[in-house]
Chain A
């Protein structure tokens, strides 16, 4: 196991791939570099929240102030949208977690060391053996498995919100009803667009982050790799924030649509 510097990694050429690299398998489950980065993100979030809330003061300062501003403004916004304190209390933790998790995940993927620290392993490419760098860390949202996991969490939360607040029959009546042939067709279309959310949720996050990572890699192989990536990395920071924001806010609005009384 050898740690290698970035410049050396660059000498072996551009590698763009969809499937994440498998580091090891534990009991048949592959541990990929993207999964490892997600775990690292969890640890970072845990540590940040632990130290952020360890010594809470009545008059906040510094870090606590920033956290209170973030949490408070998001809570007020959710209360505004859902128009109810009770519902806001119920859905705020989920939406805030989605936002913070995806934000931390996306920004983690831009840190130096991601995609450049790893081990060399023998792989077979085009019939001949070659040694290839397998990085420990890789931007997590470039792995469709992880974005689909997020999409499933959001999807299940939205459906559960509708079922628990409206009841199974009333909520199901939004999709399958026999009032008139037109209402039946519209219900089916609603059902289809409900399912399409799974695809659009997961592929939006995946597509944006994957495109960003590929763009950064291509730019790094251009003539001036020291200057050109800088504005692009700033742009990717923005994209990472916007994607986290979009994911969380769409979950919020879909919950709002799901808990609306059918008419």
Chain B
């Protein structure tokens, strides 16, 4: 197989597999946050802010996968 084609394939796999885990993580996070808001609707603002921060940390992992994908493609 050509090197370029291999690189494109590797990039797609790196990005695709790399977002699997964070996807599950964000799902769990948002679900739990909704559960918390359901139990205590007054705390919705605080729960949301903390949820977004948690999501940002989980998302960072997906971003690392993206970075690796770019590195494979262009470096």
Contact = CB atoms under 8 A, between A and B. Distances in A.
Contacts of B67: 199, 203
A200 B63 contact: yes
Contact of B63 (A77, A199, A242): A199
Contact of A203 (B52, B53, B66, B74): B66
A101 interface: no
User: Size class of B's contact patch?
Assistant: 10 to 19
A204 B63 contact: yes
Interface string B42-55: 00000001001101
A199 B59 contact: no
Contact of B66 (A77, A207, A242, A246): A207
Q: Chain A at the B interface: mostly helix, strand, loop or mixed?
A: helix
A47 to B, nearest CB: 30
A203 B67 CA distance: 8
Q: Chain B at the A interface: mostly helix, strand, loop or mixed?
A: helix
A61 to B, nearest CB: 27
Nearest to B45: A77
A18 B49 CA distance: 32
Interface residues of A, number: 14
B59 A245 contact: no
A204 B56 contact: yes
Contacts, number: 34
Contacts of B56: 204, 246, 250
Contact of A207 (B53, B63, B74): B63
Contact of A242 (B49, B52, B53, B70): B52
Contact of A200 (B52, B60, B74): B60
A249 B49 contact: yes
A77 B45 CA distance: 10
Interface in A188-221: 196, 199-200, 203-204, 207
Contact of B53 (A18, A200, A249): A249
21 contacts: A18-B70, A18-B74, A77-B49, A196-B60, A196-B64, A200-B64, A203-B64, A203-B67, A204-B60, A204-B63, A207-B62, A207-B63, A207-B66, A242-B52, A246-B52, A246-B55, A246-B56, A249-B49, A249-B52, A249-B53, A250-B56
Interface of B: 49, 52-53, 55-56, 59-60, 62-64, 66-67, 70, 74
